[in-house]
Chain A
Amino acid sequence: QVQLQESGPGLVKPSETLSLSCSVSGASVSNFYWGWIRQPPGKGLDWIGYFHNTGGSNYNPSLKSRAVISIDTSKSQFSLKLSSVTAADTAVYYCARLATSDWEYYFDYWGPGTLVTVSS
């Protein structure tokens, strides 16, 4: 059974960098695409970015190059860094596995999510 778990600070100051990690068990982080999705309080889901160990990656252009995803295969983890945060970045952040084949793309396994609040 594939399981994901987010970890990281729950409070980040404005203008600083938000850093989250996602620990993966039951699947190899080397063999799949992995992504981050966030959900502002009371709102819908927003895609942040996705990454594959072979180098395939992309980010939501609305984030204006503030997001970077990386993978640490030795720890079976992948991470998100989001720089220059503002209150608008306050959200529950989810890590998830992105399943892909031909014209099929979907997030099949999700972490429970972690709330990150941006406030001084």
Chain B
Amino acid sequence: QSVLTQPPSASGTPGQRVTISCSGSGSNIGSNTVSWYQQIPGTAPKLLISGNDQRPSGVPDRFSGSKSGTSASLAIRGLRSEDEADYYCAGWDDYLNGPVFGGGTKLTVL
């Protein structure tokens, strides 16, 4: 059972906007920033968002992140077929003094 809670699946059609939620607690999301990772099957996770809403160089601005209290969200606008992947949220837990991950959300582009 993952420390952070994500929906197991999400879907959308090309061009649509999709959001993926991530719920935690005061010791992780409530106290520290959230990051998001994209994992295409068979490959390593790739950093998509850091610091709640910062995109590393090379990540399209179609991807955006936000945080409020102990929850966070990843939004993808203008959905494309290549966005089909697993998405993981992550935070830092002050009790564990280590990273915690969500269980992952499988995004299907219909």
Contact = CB atoms under 8 A, between A and B. Distances in A.
A95 B45 CA distance: 11
A47 B99 contact: yes
Contacts of A9: none
A104 B50 contact: yes
Contact of A105 (B46, B88, B99): B99
Contacts of A98: 99
A106 B101 contact: no
A78 interface: no
Interface residues of B, number: 27
B98 A47 contact: yes
Interface string B40-71: 00011111001100001000000000000000
A60 to B, nearest CB: 6
A110 B2 contact: no
Interface in B85-104: 88, 90-92, 96-104
Contacts of B2: 44
A111 B44 CA distance: 7
Interface in A33-80: 35, 44-47, 49-50, 58-61
B33 A103 contact: yes
Given A44-B104, A45-B101, A47-B100, A103 B31 contact: yes
Contact of A106 (B51, B98, B102): B51
Contacts of B88: 44-45
A111 B98 CA distance: 20
Nearest to A47: B99
A108 B43 CA distance: 15
B32 interface: yes
B35 interface: yes
A113 B43 CA distance: 8
Interface of A: 35, 44-47, 49-50, 58-61, 94, 98-99, 103-113
14 contacts: A44-B2, A44-B104, A45-B37, A45-B90, A45-B104, A50-B98, A59-B98, A104-B32, A105-B91, A106-B50, A106-B51, A110-B45, A110-B46, A110-B47
